[in-house]
Amino acid sequence: MTTPHTYITTTIPYVNARPHLGFALEIVQADVLARFHRRQGDQVRFQTGTDDNSLKNVLAAEAAGVAVQEFVDGNAEAFIALREPLALAVDDVIRTSRDPRHRAGVERLWRACADDLYRRHYEGLYCVGCEQFYTPAELTGGRCPEHGTEPQWVAEENWFFRLSRYADRLHELISSGRLRIEPVERRNEVLGFIAGGLQDFSVSRSTARARGWGIPVPGDPGQVIYVWWDALGNYITALDYGTGGENHRRWWTGSDRRIHLVGKGVLRFHAVYWPAMLLSAGQPLPTDIVVHDYLTANGRKISKSSGVTVDPAVLAGEYGTDVVRWWLLREVPRVGDTDFIVDRLIARGNDELANGLGNLVNRVVAMIHRYRDGHVPAAGSGTGTETKAGTGAATGIGTGTEAEPGTEVKTGAGIGTGAPGSEGLQAACRQAPGLIHAALTDFEFRRATAAVWAIVDEANRYINHIRPWELAKAERDGDFDATARLDAVLVVLIRACRALGDHLTPFLPDTAIRIAQQCAARDGKLPGPRPLFRRITAPEPGSTPPP
RNA sequence: GGGGCGGUAGCUCAGCUGGUUAGAGCAGGGGACUCAUAAUCCCUGGGUCGCGGGUUCGAGUCCCGCCCGCCCUACCA
């Protein structure tokens, strides 16, 4: 058996405006999964992109008085630029308007589905902002409820896709779990929708209505491929599906996991339309569709059009990348919308990262400096120091993340007796890998971070309980036994810190590196303690995050 | 109109297949300690579990109705 291959994607957002925090949630979750799978040894491809071909983009560009391509390029840049402030380990970015792989792929996908495509007359009231038809009853005062604009009467012949013929197969695939939809609430929703009957859906627009923007229907230049068809295709077009490239075989056809992260608003497209398209085209389906709910800002719906938005890049610049990531991973429940309030972000940053984690590492490193001149004592003995700088191996983490007893962390047999009272801490360290693994298998980011956090809590508690400063005092007073005990305590603590750095890698990559640096001896000596996080005092712009 | 999901302590949330006194974190109050970023640790939570019925020996946890919020969806006149 070869190395497991895992393909992870985010949705590709419209680029009619700059990115907001809602997308940051999705892409950070995806990033955590990607990093986690890499640590497990999987081959991972983590992909995102931008949906440039939406008519919304055209309209937004017109409103801004900018050429469409130029406008789209500008916003797409802002999305792609999220990598830095959010610390995203993205492997590939596809832009549907510019990437030559995309058009070729979409065209091939269209042809592959030819048996299910047919022309049909259609007419109705259409809102370009929503890119959908409305019935008169749905309108408020004759205007689009969403945009407040007057929909236009559209009558044309479009291409339709025979979604209806896939209802039974889709239902079976989803209810059997072969196409896994998480959380289960969302899966049930999809099953209910399918059970209610599926209608064929329109997959093209007249070129005129699309203002010439988008990918023409192969062989029918009067029509442009519907943006959803186009956009969903990105998951394979970026893999060179259009040219039958190696990536397609490696990451789609032959991948062990094909994981899509999506927002609840586009569940249907991903869990029904997209799989049906793939079935039609004779392609494998995604294995997992992970659905997140929405973020609001100060109780108001985040919406580009209403101007209520939170710029994740600005937030990261203001409060720090990992503070933003931490809030997203730690506070957002898997079901239910979450209100973003900057005070809560600050509270998480201060209470947990600065006071909890940062202070823990700082006090441990400081103690080793104060009591041992920066030399980490050797494990299980009262004399000598570590011969090598500690790494993941010392924490027992590097070998895997299974929860099985066979992979329990080897914290050193002598520590248990030399460091009484550390059972809770050691248990937290031992259990963390399994708990994290289990949580992320279920895409439960809060549960995963909680498992990491148990170590922080236990470590701080242990210090207060064992009172190393008193051991140090006894040692100074000539108590030789105290020396051995203090050694053991410090070893347990520095190991816990290293374990933290290790476990935190998928969640807070920057912090993880800084912890590792703090806890790694150079020339037998730890570097001087340096705060991991600065406490955030002013909840207003102006402050700068720590380096 | 239909479907789905939420509505649990001031705030943010856990509560598996129904079962002894409904939990955690934060905030608030009290105390301890000093290694550490005025950090940490301990003690302190008496909340109609949205409302009203019902099933049951027993329901936050199942059933029905209703209210509020959000998502999706719908040609009824």
Please determine, for residue A381, whether its predicted confidence score (pLDDT) is greater than 60: no
Dihedral sign from CA coordinates of A198, A204, A208, A212: positive
Average pLDDT in chain A: 86
Nearest nucleotide from residue A264 CA, by C1' atom: B71
By the 10 Å C-beta count (0-12 exposed, 13-18 middle, 19+ buried), A78 is classed as middle
A303 in Cβ contact with A73 (< 8 Å): no
Mean pLDDT of A209-237: 91
Residue A542 has pLDDT above 70, yes or no: no
Distance A267 CA to B58 C1' (A): 40
Q: What is the pLDDT of residue A405?
A: 34
Closest residue (CA) to C1' of nucleotide B76 is A137
Domain A355-380+419-519 sits in CATH 3.30.365.10: no
Mean pLDDT of the region A21-49: 96
Strand B contact with A541 (CB < 7 A)? no
A323 CA from B10 C1′ (Å): 25
pLDDT digits (tens, 9 = 90+) for A274-325: 999 999 999 999 999 999 999 998 888 886 666 678 899 999 999 999 999 9
Q: Where are the domains of chain A?
A: 355-380+419-519
* Mean pLDDT in residue range A457-482: 93
How many CB atoms sit inside 10 A of residue A343's CB? 9
Q: Which of residues 167-196 of A touch strand B (CB under 7 A)?
A: 185-186, 188-189, 192-193
Contact flag, residue A49 CB and nucleic strand B, below 7 A: no
- Tell me the CB-side half-sphere exposure of residue A355, using CA atoms within 13 A: 9
Q: Which of residues 419-458 of A touch strand B (CB under 7 A)?
A: 446, 457
Instruction: Determine the average pLDDT of the residues in A253-262.
Output: 96
**CA→C1' distance for A60 and B8 (Å):** 43
Residues 6+ away with beta carbon under 8 Å from A93: A47, A48, A49, A50, A80
Task: Indicate the burial class of A218 (C-beta count within 10 angstroms; 0-12, 13-18, 19 or more).
Answer: middle
**Which nucleotide is nearest to A193 if distance is taken from CA to C1'?**
B3
CA–CA dist A59, A422 (Å, integer)? 62
Lowest mean pLDDT among A19-33, A373-387, A521-535: A373-387
Segment among A65-79, A158-172, A203-217, A349-363 with least mean pLDDT: A203-217
Q: Which residue has the higher pLDDT, A449 or A546?
A: A449
A221 touches strand B (CB under 7 A): no
Confidence of residue A402 (pLDDT cuts 50, 70, 90): very low
The answer to whether the beta carbon of residue A498 comes closer than 7 angstroms to any atom of strand B is no
A361-CA/B36-C1' distance, Å: 9
- Which amino acid, A413? A
Q: Give pLDDT, residue A192.
A: 85
Within 7 A of a protein CB, which nucleotides of strand B? 3-6, 12-14, 25-27, 32-37, 39-42, 69-77
pTM here?
Answer: 0.90
Element housing A455 (H / E): helix A445-466
- The whole-number pLDDT of residue A196 equals 82
Cα dihedral A317, A92, A513, A341, rounded to 10, equals 40
Phi, psi angles (nearest 5°) of residue A521:
-80, 140
ipTM of the modeled complex: 0.92
Which of the nucleotides lies closest to A353 (Cα–C1')? B37
Mean pLDDT over A129-157 rounds to 66
| Interatomic distance A458 CA / B22 C1' (Å) | 26
- Our measurement of CA A48 to C1' B14, in angstroms, reads 33
CA distance A90 to A8: 10
Condensed to tens digits (0 to 9), the pLDDT of residues A63-84 reads 899 999 999 999 999 999 999 9
pLDDT, average across residues A113-128: 83
* Amino acid residing at A73: D
Residues 470-489 of A with CB under 7 A from strand B: 470
DSSP string, A372-406: HTTPPBPTTSSS-B-SS---HHHHT-TT----SGG
pLDDT > 90 fraction of chain A, expressed in percent and rounded: 66
Distance CA A294, CA A342 (A): 16
Out of A340-349, A410-419, A478-487, pick the least confident.
A410-419
A139 touches strand B (CB under 7 A): no
* A535 Cβ nearer than 7 Å to chain B strand: yes
Protein CA at A146 to nucleotide C1' at B7, angstroms: 25
